[in-house]
Amino acid sequence: MSRSAIHKRHSLVTQTMADWTERYRPSTLSEVRGNDKARDAFAEWARTWDDHREAAIVHGSPGGGKTSSAPAPAADMGVEAVS
């Protein structure tokens, strides 16, 4: 297989995976699976925002759901997420 054919195949696989991850990305916190304790604490932080107005720093290993979880509370509450 030529180098350009390998590159095209890799690009197709990469795009397919990106499409898949966007298609199945959780849009609300109730759809986020995994660390329920952290998810629930994040939801509580969002619900009590007006009481504290402190930023949250979401950190962790790659693939842990940070990018998916960050805008989810806004969707739950019907407000715009700002990042």
Q: What is the DSSP string of 44-81?
A: HHHHTHHHH--------STTSSHHHHTTHHHHHHT---
Lowest mean pLDDT segment, chosen from 6-15, 27-36, 55-64: 6-15
Q: For residue 82, is it within any domain?
A: no
37 has a pLDDT exceeding 80: yes
Domain region containing 49: 3-77
Contact partners, residue 30, CB within 8 Å, separation at least 6: 76
The more confidently predicted of residues 11 and 19 is 19
Q: For residue 83, is it within any domain?
A: no
Residue type present at position 69: S
Q: For residue 53, is it within any domain?
A: yes
- Structural domains in the chain (count): 1
**Tens-place pLDDT, residues 2-18:** 776 665 665 655 666 66
Mean of pLDDT values over 9-36: 76
* Local confidence band at 22 (pLDDT 50, 70, 90 cut-offs): confident
